[in-house]
Amino acid sequence: MSSPRAFTAIFRIPSPAEAELAGLRAELALLRSALAVRERALDDLRCHLLSFEGRYIRQVGKLYKQLDEWEKRVAALHPERELALAEEDDAAEESPLSQHLKSATRDPKPTITLRALFRELALRIHPDHALDAVDEARRTRLMAQANDAFRRKDLRILRRMLHGFDPGGSFFVRDIEAELAEARESLAQTLRDIAAAEADHAALAASQLADLERSCMDASRAGRDLLGEMAARVKGRIGMTMRQYDLDLSRIKRPDQGMSVESLLSADSSPVRR
């Protein structure tokens, strides 16, 4: 029968710094899970509103574009109105809905910060720095993830990868203070990312587009098609503006001469019929 001492394991008691590092990493894992939940919620809301925005543009937005074109035609017949119409266009460009429409189609190029962050990350995780086959496979996988994040212009993922990368392996001399500093920075950055995601979600949920979508949902529950009603009203305005254009154009082509001085004189000099 084996002695109990044969199964006795010897455990090294972690140093205070190592215990702190373990606690920070456990907290960081929880925060990253919370961040993932918030980012998914933000993506879901963004996709939902973009889908509604497409419906709005197809049913109402294109009609507003036609109305704008006819109003510009009418204004062109009256130069004094063109300045006022231009000021209205400038004000419309500053509306929350217009800003959202422009931001939804914007395709920003990678910023200098994004490229610099990617280069710094690539220098740390590149497979050329691998110590063995296992390390090379892990670095290759990380490099693929970094390339994908760069293509998607995802600054948050690149930043988290940079601060969370631990080369590991027995050939590395462990610098516990450096690991603690990285863990603290990763923790602080993740908290900032959570706050940013929550702020973006709140701003999007309070946007003019979200308000309109909620109004449409309330109207739908009451058996109404709010977008259809809006489209009908815009069509009516288009018809009225087209009629106004025809009337103004007719007046310009056949102006009403009215009682001019010449006509009054000719009337006074004409013989009176008895």
Task: Give the number of domains in the chain.
Answer: 1
pLDDT over 70 percentage in the chain: 71
Residues in Cβ contact with 113 at an 8 Å cutoff, skipping those fewer than 6 apart = 155
Among 2-16, 74-88, 188-202, 210-224, the minimum mean pLDDT is found in 2-16
Task: Note down the domain range covering 201.
Answer: 16-108+176-234
Residue 75 lies in a domain: yes
Q: Is residue 201 part of a domain?
A: yes
User: Is residue 78, in this structure, part of any structural domain at all?
Assistant: yes
Task: Determine the pLDDT at residue 226.
Answer: 93
Does a structural domain hold residue 252?
A: no
In our burial notation (b when 16+ CB lie closer than 10 A, e otherwise), range 132-144 reads eeebeebbeebbe
pLDDT computed for residue 105 by the predictor? 39
Cβ count within 10 A of residue 267? 9
Neighbouring C-beta atoms of residue 71, cutoff 10 Å: 19
CA dist list (Å): 265 to 215, 257, 258, 268, 273: 65, 15, 14, 5, 17
Nearest Cα residue to 192 out of 25, 31, 24: 31
Q: How far apart are CA 239 and CA 243, in angstroms?
A: 6
pLDDT tens for each residue of 54-86: 999 999 999 999 999 998 888 888 766 555 555
Asked whether residue 196 is assigned to any structural domain, the reply reads yes
Q: Write out the two tokens for 111.
A: 């910023």
pLDDT in tens, 170-181: 333 346 777 788
Q: Decide if 162 contacts 120 (C-beta within 8 A).
A: yes
Quick check: is 155 in a domain? no
Q: Give the pLDDT band of residue 202 (cuts 50, 70, 90).
A: very high
Is 220 inside a domain boundary?
Answer: yes
In angstroms, the CA 86 to CA 249 distance is: 21
Residue 30: inside a domain: yes
CB 49 within 8 A of CB 209: yes
Which of 106, 108, 107, 104 lies closest to 57, judged by CA?
104
Kindly give, in sequence order, each residue whose CB lies less than 8 Å from that of residue 84, ignoring residues fewer than 6 positions away. Answer: 75
